[in-house]
Amino acid sequence: MSIDFAVTTGGPTLPQERRLVTAIPGPRSIELQARRTQAVSAGVASVLPVFVVAGGGGVLIDVDGNSLIDMGSGIAVTSVGNAAPKVVESVARQAAEFTHACFTVTPYEGYVAVCEALNELTPGDHVKRSALFNSGAEAVENAVKIARAYTHRQAVVVFEHGYHGRTNLTMGMTAKNMPYKHSFGPFAPEIYRVPMSYPFHDGLSGAEAAAHAISRIDKEVGAENVAAIVVEPIAGEGGFVVPAEGFLPELVEYARANGIVFVADEIQTGFCRTGAWFACNHEGVVPDLITTAKGIAGGLPLAAVTGRAEIMDAVHAGGLGGTYAGNPVACAAALGAIAEMRAAGLDAAARRIGELMLPRLHALAERSGRIGDVRGRGAMTAVEIVVPGTKDPDPATTAAVAGACHAAGVVVLTAGTYGNVLRFLPPLTMPEHLLDEAMTVIEDAVTALG
Ligand code: PLZ
C-alpha cells in the first residue's frame, strides 16, 4: 500500500528552493488524489491536492519531487519550521521512553514543564496556571467551561468575523456559516455575537468600535450575565482583521469593571507569529485567560488554556482533562519548539518577515486597484481583494490569484468572511531569498490580472 517516496527526510537540510518538475498537481499526486476520493470523506477538503512527503525551512516537497515555497505553515503551525531539529529530537527521545500515560491517571514532568513555560511566557506577571488539551477548539471550549465555573454565569460574547473551531460549542462561537456551520446545527445556546473593530470597513477608532460592541453587550445580554468575552487579537480565519488601536484595551477594561473573564484566543496569533510572543503584547493587553495551540508544538497536536490562578483553580478537581490531553510526545514537541523560538529569536524573525513583506504588499496595492487593504503584524500579513474602485469583496479574483500562486509552486491560503483575503503565514525560519521569490510570484499573480 505504501508509496516508495524519493525524498524521505525533511528539516532545514532540504534544498531551500522553488523547483517545479511537473505541473501542479503532478501525476503521483493525481494518483493519490484518486485513492483519497475512494477512502476519505468528501467532507474533508484540501487547499491544493499535492501530497507532501517532506518539509523544512521554507519548503514543502511533494510526492512528484516538486519543491514548493510554504507561505501557510499548515495554517500557522510550523512556525519553527517543519521537522525542526529540536522538535524532532525531543519527540524521538520521548517516543522511545513512553508514548502515553494519561496525565489524569499517572502524571509526567513534560506536561508540568509546558505549563511552567506557558505561565512564564504569556502576557502578565500575575500568578498563573495552565491546562493542556489536543486542539484549538478544545482549548476554547475549556476556556468557556472555566470562565463559567468561575463566574457562575452563562453568556459568552464573541465577535463578527471570529473563528474558534469546529466542535459544537465553537461552531456556535464561529461567525462564518460556510463551510464551518452549514447544516450542522443546532448550536449551543448563550452565545452572543457583537461587532469586531474592522478599520477598513467601519472606519471607526478603537474606542468607537469598542463602545459600539459594549453597548450591544449591555443592551442585548447584560454585563452581569456574561461569563466571558472571547476575542482573537487579530481575527485569523475572518481575514487577518487587525482591530483599531485601543479596541482590545477598552474591552479588557469593560470586562474588569464587570467581573467578566476576558479570553484572548491566540491560537493563530500566538508563539511569535505576529513579531511578539503573543499578539496581546503589541498593546500591552493582559487577558485573564489565553488559549494557545498551533505554533506551540511545531506540528504536533497540543493546545492550552493559561490564566489567572484564581480563575483556573475555580474548577472542581477532575473537571478538566481528556485521554490524550497534554500527551507526552506533544509536550516534548512543545518543549523543543519553545526552546527553538527562544534560541533563534523567532519573534524578531517574524518582525523581519513583516518588514520585508508589508512594504512590497503596499507597493503592489499602489499598482493594482484590486487590493483594497494591506494589513497584519509580523509574519501574519494579508491583502483584501476588492472590486476596483470599491470596497466590495472579490472572492473570484482572490481564488484566481491563489490558484496562480499554487500553479507556480507557492502555497498561499485565503481567508475572510467573504473569502476575499489572501493571507500569508510563512514559517519563521523562511530564508530571505525564498520569501523574496514568493513575493515576486504573488506580485506577478496579482498584476497578471490587470
Ligand atoms: N481559534 C483563532 O485560528 C484554527 C482552522 C482550520 P483547531 N484555525 C484553523 C480549519 O479549517 O479547520 C483556530 C483558530 C483560532 C481556534 C481554532 C481552532 O483550532 O486546532 O483547528 O481546533
Q: What is the pLDDT of residue 10?
A: 81
Give me ligand 1 centre to Cα 450, in Å. 34
Q: Which residues of 145-180 are buried (b: 16+ CB within 10 A; e: fewer)?
A: bbbbbbbebebbbbbbbbbbbebebbbbbbbbeeeb
Site to substitute for ligand 1 among 184, 294, 302, most atoms within 8 A of C-beta: 294
Scan for cell 459594549, then name that residue.
Answer: 214
- Are 320 and 303 contacting, i.e. CB atoms less than 8 angstroms apart? no
Give me ligand 1 centre to Cα 5, in Å. 30
Q: How far apart are CA 327 and CA 333, in angstroms?
A: 10
Does residue 411 have its Cβ closer than 6 Å to ligand 1?
Answer: no
Residues 318-332, mean pLDDT to the nearest whole number:
98
Give me ligand 1 centre to Cα 21, in Å. 33
For residue 4, pLDDT over 90 is answered with no
All three cell numbers of 232, joined, read 482573537
Give me ligand 1 centre to Cα 403, in Å. 23
Strand duo 52-56 + 421-424: pairing: unpaired
For residue 336, pLDDT over 60 is answered with yes
For residue 2, pLDDT over 70 is answered with no
Radius of gyration from C-alpha coordinates of the chain: 21
- Are 86 and 243 contacting, i.e. CB atoms less than 8 angstroms apart? no
Nearest CA to ligand 1 atom 9: 75
HSE-CB of 67 using CA atoms within 13 angstroms: 15
- Are 17 and 69 contacting, i.e. CB atoms less than 8 angstroms apart? no
Provide the pLDDT confidence category of residue 15 given band limits of 50, 70 and 90: very high
Give me ligand 1 centre to Cα 221, in Å. 26
Beta bridge partners of 289: 263, 307
Evaluate the omega torsion of the peptide bond into residue 25 and state whether it is cis, within 30 degrees of 0: yes
- Are 30 and 61 contacting, i.e. CB atoms less than 8 angstroms apart? no
Residues whose CB falls within 8 Å of the CB of residue 201, separated by 6 or more in sequence, listed in order: 391
Q: How far apart are CA 349 and CA 367, in angstroms?
A: 28
Alpha carbon 214 to chain centroid distance? 26
Cα 236 to Cα 40, 163, 336: the distances in Å are: 27, 7, 25
User: Which amino acid does the sequence have at 64?
Assistant: D
Scan for cell 529530537, then name that residue.
Answer: 89
Residues 94-117, mean pLDDT to the nearest whole number:
98
Q: How far apart are CA 257 and CA 269, in angstroms?
A: 26
Burial of 109 (0-12, 13-18, 19+ CB in 10 A): exposed
SS3 state of residue 133? strand
Within 10 angstroms of residue 288's Cβ, the number of other Cβ atoms is: 25
End-to-end alpha-carbon separation of the chain, Å? 46
Q: What is the pLDDT of residue 427?
A: 98
Scan for cell 452563562, then name that residue.
Answer: 154
Cα 300 to Cα 135, 320, 328: the distances in Å are: 10, 21, 11
Give me ligand 1 centre to Cα 300, in Å. 14
Give me ligand 1 centre to Cα 60, in Å. 21
* CA dihedral over 230, 231, 236, 238, signed as positive or negative: positive
Q: What are phi and psi of 37, to 5 degrees?
A: -60, -35
Nearest CA to ligand 1 atom 6: 75
Does residue 141 have its Cβ closer than 6 Å to ligand 1?
Answer: no
Evaluate the omega torsion of the peptide bond into residue 107 and state whether it is cis, within 30 degrees of 0: no
pTM for this one?
0.97
Beta bridge partners of 381: 376, 424
Cα angle vertex 122, ends 342, 222, to 5°? 160
Shortest CA distance to 431 belongs to which of 338, 359, 361, 344? 344
DSSP-assigned states of every residue in 174-234: ----TTTTTT--PPPSSEEEEPPP-HHHH---HHHHHHHHHHHHHHHT-GGGEEEEEE-SS
Q: What is the pLDDT of residue 43?
A: 98
Does residue 75 have its Cβ closer than 6 Å to ligand 1?
Answer: yes
Beta bridge partners of 367: none
Q: How far apart are CA 134 and CA 81, in angstroms?
A: 20
Q: What is the pLDDT of residues 231-275, one digit of tens each?
A: 999 999 999 999 999 999 999 999 999 999 999 999 999 999 999
Does residue 135 have its Cβ closer than 6 Å to ligand 1?
Answer: yes
Count of residues in the chain: 450
Shortest CA distance to 424 belongs to which of 363, 367, 360, 366? 360
Q: What is the pLDDT of residues 351-390, one digit of tens each?
A: 999 999 999 999 999 999 999 999 999 999 999 999 999 9
Residues 61-82, mean pLDDT to the nearest whole number:
98
Provide the pLDDT confidence category of residue 8 given band limits of 50, 70 and 90: low
